[in-house]
Amino acid sequence: MADGKTALVTGGAGFIGSHMVDRLLELDYRVVILDDLSTGKIKNLNSKAVFHHTDITQPAMAEIIQREQPDLVFHMAAQTSVTQSTKDPIGDANANVLGTLRVLEASRRVGVEKIIYSCTGGALYGDPESVPCPDDAKITPVSPYGMSKWVAEQYLYFYYQQYRLHYTSLRYGNVYGPRQDPHGEAGVVAIFSQSMLEGKQPQIFGDGTQERDFVSVFDVVDANIAAIDNGDGKAMNIATGEATSVNRIFELLRSITEYKWDALHGPQRTGEVYRISLDWSRAATELEWSPKIGLEEGLRLTVDYFREFMDLAGNVSGSLGGHPGGSAAGNAASAG
């Protein structure tokens, strides 16, 4: 499939990007990673890929793209925190809008065949009028993060119209799975999994009835692969169409980890979408893609990863059935 091609993954040291790198290497692509390690991790880096420790907002990035001559670009590097985007909208736009523009400009100069962009579905439509929310629903982002991801998608369209730089924009639901950072603000699955395995009491913001569309990182990687040859010039949701409450995630993980205690409830966070799920019928038509990993299976894979990771690090303290120790771990259910 790779035919000696080079694939560039921006953000390839991150959660989704590192899985993307692994899959591309399995498919025999030569893989180049650009990452500034702001949230990505060295331990996520696949040693078979070429790694450049670079910030996509810096001009040096363009020289690297010039040298590496990628055929395909998977653009995943971004400022990904909704809260951070509210605190620092300029920093957010710098990474997500200007950084993307630099990647686009460098890509067109070297004649990249296609750019596949990691956009957001969860933060694009606000609280949609109906769920599952269709791909062509009104765009009403309620955070600077949602806006910057949306503006970047518009630039992809411009480069497609103006320069025939081919693209597909994939608008993800709440992606979860192995390697998600349990210390971030979002990633409720990772945060709960780690907390429960450590015997700490997870905190739920609000009453936990808020609902999200949880999609496995492995299904997201499949969608990116399917987009190499399909879905040109289009944007589409990549999700499950199912709305799952944070309380339900808590219960499922409690059963998988055999955690015995209840959640702590903190105040509701402002500016959060209350209920969303995403219709993925356009991806089904355009990419012949469908989500394959059911929620319980995906949660088990995630818990297995954290178990293994924590065992290796020797971090699991006390018995899982013991009383929750220490302070509550934070949690969030941001619509990524």
Q: Which is nearer to ligand NAD, 30 or 102 (CB)?
A: 102
Query: CB of residue 149 vs ligand NAD: minimum separation in angstroms?
Result: 6
* Near ligand NAD in 101-120, by CB under 6 A: 118, 120
Please check whether residue 8 is in contact with residue 73, taking contact to mean a CB–CB distance below 8 angstroms.
yes
By CB under 6 A, which span of 34-42, 105-113, 224-232, 293-301 interacts with ligand NAD? 34-42
By CB under 6 A, which span of 6-14, 128-136, 279-287, 302-310 interacts with ligand NAD? 6-14
Can 172 be counted among the known catalytic residues? no
Q: Which is nearer to ligand NAD, 159 or 176 (CB)?
A: 176
**Using rule CB under 6 A, residue 175 touches ligand NAD:** yes
Q: Which single residue is written with the structure tokens 């088990």?
A: 300
Residues 148, 283: Cα–Cα separation, whole Å: 23
30, 65, 80, 148: residue in contact with ligand NAD (rule CB under 6 A): 80
Helix axes 217-226, 15-26, angle to 10 degrees: 50
By CB under 6 A, which span of 50-58, 64-72, 103-111, 201-209 interacts with ligand NAD? 50-58
Residues 12, 5: Cα–Cα separation, whole Å: 17
Residues 255, 257: Cα–Cα separation, whole Å: 6
Q: What H or E segment, with its residue span, contains residue 172?
A: strand 166-172
Q: How far is CA 84 from CA 34, 186, 299, in A?
A: 22, 11, 27
**Using rule CB under 6 A, residue 84 touches ligand NAD:** no
Q: How far is CA 68 from CA 6, 52, 164, 228, in A?
A: 8, 10, 21, 19
Residues 218, 253: Cα–Cα separation, whole Å: 19
16, 147, 156, 295: residue in contact with ligand NAD (rule CB under 6 A): 16
Q: Which is nearer to ligand NAD, 201 or 277 (CB)?
A: 277
| Cα–Cα nearest to 43, from 64, 70, 15 | 15
**Using rule CB under 6 A, residue 57 touches ligand NAD:** yes
Query: CB of residue 54 vs ligand NAD: minimum separation in angstroms?
Result: 6
Which entry of 145, 155, 159, 167 is annotated as an active-site residue? 145
Q: Which is nearer to ligand NAD, 15 or 306 (CB)?
A: 15
Q: Which is nearer to ligand NAD, 36 or 219 (CB)?
A: 36
**Using rule CB under 6 A, residue 77 touches ligand NAD:** yes
* Near ligand NAD in 206-235, by CB under 6 A: none
Residues 119, 336: Cα–Cα separation, whole Å: 9
By CB under 6 A, which span of 11-19, 255-263, 267-275, 287-295 interacts with ligand NAD? 11-19
Q: Which is nearer to ligand NAD, 35 or 71 (CB)?
A: 35
Q: What H or E segment, with its residue span, contains residue 35?
A: strand 30-35
Please check whether residue 215 is in contact with residue 175, taking contact to mean a CB–CB distance below 8 angstroms.
yes
Residues 174, 89: Cα–Cα separation, whole Å: 21
Q: Which single residue is written with the structure tokens 């954290």?
A: 306
- Footprint of ligand NAD (CB under 6 A): 11, 13-17, 34-40, 55-57, 76-80, 95, 99, 118, 120, 122, 149, 172, 174-175, 336
Active site residues: 145
